[in-house]
Amino acid sequence: MEPRTAKLERKTGETDLALELSLDGEGTADVATGIGFLDHLLTALARHARFDLRLRCTGDLHVDDHHTAEDCALALGAALDRALGERRGIARFGWAYAPLDEALARAVVDLSGRPYARVELGLTRDRLGTLACENVAHVLQSLALAGRLTLHVEVPAGANDHHRAEAVFKAVALALRAAVARDGSDTVPSTKGVLV
């Protein structure tokens, strides 16, 4: 089987990043973005999706966390898209629940080639560490956009925002793991014959 990997470098006036992704890994993550809680979320995503991920990003954190969080998510989504190629022989759909103590998250993924994200997290704090809570949702939206996938996530239960956010990334990871799974065919899982 051909390896499903991607490497990406992106340098702008706001961020400088390098990313390596393997969809058929062991869940090894080496993430350094300068934003501790973002590193935590992306590490959880890689671990539970069983993706191998190496990500280095230096961003304009003296401004705020937005550009770094957004560009890391856009790069990860673009790498996922590249690694999937024509999206032949994959399950395409994935869904999962993930609890974390009192929090429960649900994620549904369609590797449709059509970007869309519905993200309802119910976070109430301003920040988790140095990551603005509004950027937790923005990371997921940016991932869906660049990854050309449909993503629905929600957190129907949970009192602790750290638990709610982490449970969401674990649920997304499990849904992606199911969606990228090889199904033994060489066909594109669509009645159109193409995923766009």
19-47 confidence digits (pLDDT tens) = 999 999 999 999 999 999 999 999 999 99
Token pair of 170 as six digits: 């674990």
- Count CA within 13 A, CB hemisphere, residue 191: 0
Query: Residue 184's pLDDT is what?
Result: 84
What are the tens digits of pLDDT across the range 122-172?
Answer: 999 999 999 999 999 999 999 999 999 999 999 999 999 999 999 999 999
Q: What angle do CA 81, 85, 86 make, to 5 degrees?
A: 115
Query: Residue 190's pLDDT is what?
Result: 67
Query: Residue 178's pLDDT is what?
Result: 98
The fold of 5-180 is Ribosomal Protein S5; domain 2 (3.30.230)
**Would the pTM count as exceeding 0.75?**
yes
Q: Give the N- to C-terminal CA distance of the chain in Å, as an integer.
A: 24
CA dihedral (39, 43, 46, 47) in degrees, to 10, reads 180
Distance in angstroms (rounded) separating the CA atoms of residues 165 and 186:
36
Report domain extents, the chain: 5-180
Distance in angstroms (rounded) separating the CA atoms of residues 136 and 192:
34
Query: Residue 185's pLDDT is what?
Result: 85
CA dihedral (53, 31, 162, 103) in degrees, to 10, reads 10
Distance in angstroms (rounded) separating the CA atoms of residues 181 and 149:
15
pLDDT of 196 over the 80 cut: no
Torsional sign, CA 71, 29, 38, 87: positive
- Count CA within 13 A, CB hemisphere, residue 127: 10
> Which ranges of the chain does DSSP label H, i.e. alpha helix?
36-49, 66-84, 133-147, 161-180
